[in-house]
């Protein structure tokens, strides 16, 4: 199932900059072993905005995230970033955040290990000292040894969004299924908006009901 798209405005950029980061999905279908994972999905995601895409939880969200990131073949349709359909370009420009069983951290890892992995993926220094400094700056030192699964959902997703956006080549951040962890969606929603305000294109794949509920939080005057 696929619902309408909600656009949450962030900072507006010059047209050339926007075009470089614009994601357009047209009639996207992805074939599964026995049935389509997703069928006929289309949306446009702009730089400086958060685009909410309502997709049923599970393999559909994972498949669509992988498609936007250029990691799977499409049965029908196309996905472009900055006008290019080249899969190597999509892979270079996207960061897939918290995709279940793909980029999501292992539940048993301590927070410090997750941060170290994410810093390394972002091509940032990831020594023990660097991790400690990162946690201290966010007042999280006391949580360094806590298992990832025991941390508040909003905190986990906020950290992953921030770290995922740091790779120097990333222009598009795709967050998959943040609502599957439960809790108040405000934390990850606000974190996604913060990334968009910095000029990134942010796509959130979530349950249709979550997308509809968050639509009510869009301030008057912004695009929906």
In this structure, what CATH number is given to the domain that contains residue 189?
Answer: 3.40.50.300
Residue 26 lies in a domain: yes
Residue 123 lies in a domain: no
Dist CA 48 CA 127 (whole Å): 32
Residue 127 lies in a domain: no
Give me the average pLDDT of each 10-residue run along the chain (224 residues): 50 58 96 89 95 93 97 97 96 97 96 98 96 98 98 96 94 97 91 95 94 66 38
Residue 205 lies in a domain: yes
pLDDT at 33 (0 to 100): 82
Task: Indicate the burial class of 59 (C-beta count within 10 angstroms; 0-12, 13-18, 19 or more).
Answer: middle
Which DSSP symbol is given to 200?
Answer: -
pLDDT at 220 (0 to 100): 42
Residue 8 lies in a domain: yes
Number of domains comprising the chain: 1
Map residue 159 onto helix, strand or coil: helix
pLDDT at 18 (0 to 100): 57
H-type alpha helices, the chain = 15-21, 59-68, 87-93, 111-121, 128-137, 153-164, 186-197, 208-215
Residue 155 lies in a domain: no
Dist CA 139 CA 194 (whole Å): 19
């Amino acid at each position: 199932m696929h619902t309408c798209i909600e656009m949450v405005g962030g900072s507006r950029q010059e047209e050339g900059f926007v075009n470089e980061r614009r994601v357009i999905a047209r009639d996207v279908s992805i074939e599964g072993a026995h049935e389509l994972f997703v069928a006929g999905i289309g949306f446009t995601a702009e730089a400086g905005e958060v685009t909410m895409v309502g997709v049923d939880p599970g393999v559909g969200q994972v498949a669509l995230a992988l498609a936007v990131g250029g990691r799977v073949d499409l049965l029908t349709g196309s996905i472009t970033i900055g006008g290019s359909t080249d899969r190597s370009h999509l892979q270079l420009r996207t960061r897939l955040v918290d995709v279940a069983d793909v980029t999501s951290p292992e539940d048993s890892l301590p927070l410090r290990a997750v941060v170290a992995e994410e810093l390394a993926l972002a091509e940032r220094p990831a020594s023990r000292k660097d991790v400690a400094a990162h946690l201290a700056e966010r007042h999280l030192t006391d949580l360094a040894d806590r298992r990832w699964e025991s941390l508040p959902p909003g905190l986990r997703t906020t950290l992953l969004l921030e770290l995922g956006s740091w790779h120097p080549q990333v222009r598009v951040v795709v967050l998959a299924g943040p609502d599957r962890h439960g809790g108040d969606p405000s934390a990850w929603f606000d974190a996604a908006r913060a990334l968009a305000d910095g000029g990134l294109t942010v796509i959130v794949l979530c349950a249709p009901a979550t997308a509809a509920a968050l639509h009510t939080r869009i301030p008057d005057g912004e695009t929906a």
